[in-house]
Structure 1
Amino acid sequence: MKLLKIALAIAVLFVNLTLAQPSWADRPKFSKNPDYIEVTKTIQELKKSAEGTIPADVQRQIDELEFQKAAIESGTAWGQCRNESGGNLAIYGTGSEESGNSNQLYFLANKQTTPDQWDCQGVYLPADVKVTGLDKTGAVAVKIMDGTQLLVKKNPDTSELELNLPNAKIVKPGETDWFIPNVSQAFLDSRIPNTLTAAEND
């Protein structure tokens, strides 16, 4: 009977080791993450260009980038977007980390946040939408780094959108493989939000 119990315990242990994901597995290599590479390069360029004493505004940029770099090193390989714009928000994303979808446009409803692990990579801003602190003449996208929580909200006094990013990275049509259409905010508001549905299907 003792021998049977030992054999059963070994069998359960063996099945557990072969089926369960090992807890000692390495985290994904952050050094190959495109955002990590870009942040590291930008930090080096800022330090190199500020020979000698670093101006306060450049040092603030470096500190913020160092913080983003640490966030990526911690293993957070996705961004999150929150919509408080009063209408639909077109966002760029790959869906969940497991889905493997290529970067595409989704629609996030007002007062909603993309789920954890769902990689929001940026937002689309139509030409007819004014954004505080952004000088844009047409439709653009704003790219966010992994580990960033982007909040897009409408200023009730000016009706302009505000982003909680101190240094928003603008992407213009033709600069990357991101699809940047020329549509209005009214068109975006006519779309059915699908971000949370896409997350449930992944």
Structure 2
Amino acid sequence: MRLLKVAFAIAVLFVNLLIAQPSWADKPKFSKNPDYIEVTKTIKELKKSAEGTIPANVQRQIDELEFQKAAIESGIAWGQCRNETGGNLAIYGNAGEESEESENSNQLYFLANGQTTPDQWDCQGVYLPSDVKVAGLDKTGAVAIRIMDGTQLLVKKNPDTSELELNIPNAKVVKPSDQDWFIPNVSQAFVDSRIPNTLTSGDNG
């Protein structure tokens, strides 16, 4: 009888181990995340360049980067984009299996006005045509804005100036020659003519 109870207890323990997530399960490998590596490196460089007393504007950059670093450490390995521009917004997402023949690590998608990319769908940045003006951004041609994991990017149009406004400070600009992002030279009118093909937070599936 005693052996039966022991066997039953062992069986219950085994089932619990199979069903419940172990408390010692590995945490997300954020230390290998490219964004995490970049943020950590930039923080170190800013602190090193300050040499002693850190100016207020540099300290603000460090604080913002520390905040981004904490967001990545929390396990959020994706970015989110919202479009309030009044037209289509071209955004970058992981090409994955959808574009095995593509030479670029990510692909352009089109997000309709008033829409937000869903949770877990990694919006990596936005494309800004050459004929679009962006507040606080001096650009002479088409560029892309890259966002880090854990970032909610809002792009909206200022009704008074018609300029686009980004809710992130110190936007990281990606130029055609910088890395393997597809940055074509097309107009906003062309972007607006595309059929939106991004699942949004209000879509099913």
TM class, shorter-length: 0.7 to 0.9
Q: CA deviation at 1:100?
A: 11
| Matches of 1:95 and 1:200, distance apart in 2 | 21
Amino acid at match of 2:76: T
Report the equivalent of 1:39: 39
Report the equivalent of 1:152: 155
Q: 1:105-147 deviations in whole A, cap 9, x for unaligned?
A: 1100000000001100100000000000000000000000100
Amino acid at match of 1:51: E
RMSD: 2.7
Task: Note closer, same or farther for the CA distance 1:184–1:64 as it changes in structure 2 (3 Å cut).
Answer: same
Q: CA deviation at 1:99?
A: 8.9
Report the equivalent of 2:80: 80
Task: Note closer, same or farther for the CA distance 1:148–1:99 as it changes in structure 2 (3 Å cut).
Answer: farther
Report the equivalent of 2:136: 133
TM-score, length of structure 2 as denominator length: 0.85
| Matches of 1:68 and 1:32, distance apart in 2 | 15
Report the equivalent of 2:166: 163
Asked whether the equivalents of residues 128 and 184 of structure 1 are also in contact (C-alpha less than 8 Å), the reply is yes
Asked whether the equivalents of residues 131 and 161 of structure 1 are also in contact (C-alpha less than 8 Å), the reply is yes
Paired positions, count? 192
| Matches of 2:98 and 2:195, distance apart in 1 | 21
| Matches of 1:52 and 1:120, distance apart in 2 | 38
TM-score, length of structure 1 as denominator length: 0.86
Percent identity of equivalent pairs: 80
Asked whether the equivalents of residues 127 and 182 of structure 1 are also in contact (C-alpha less than 8 Å), the reply is yes
Task: Note closer, same or farther for the CA distance 1:176–1:21 as it changes in structure 2 (3 Å cut).
Answer: farther
Report the equivalent of 2:94: 94
Asked whether the equivalents of residues 36 and 72 of structure 1 are also in contact (C-alpha less than 8 Å), the reply is yes
Task: Note closer, same or farther for the CA distance 1:141–1:68 as it changes in structure 2 (3 Å cut).
Answer: same
Return 45-54 or 20-29, whichever deviates more.
20-29
The runs of 5 or more residues in structure 2 that have no matched partner are: none
Q: Are residues 1:180 and 2:189 paired?
A: no
The runs of 5 or more residues in structure 1 that have no matched partner are: none
Q: CA deviation at 1:10?
A: 4.0
Asked whether the equivalents of residues 95 and 119 of structure 1 are also in contact (C-alpha less than 8 Å), the reply is no
| Matches of 2:141 and 2:86, distance apart in 1 | 21
Report the equivalent of 1:103: 106
Q: CA deviation at 1:31?
A: 0.4
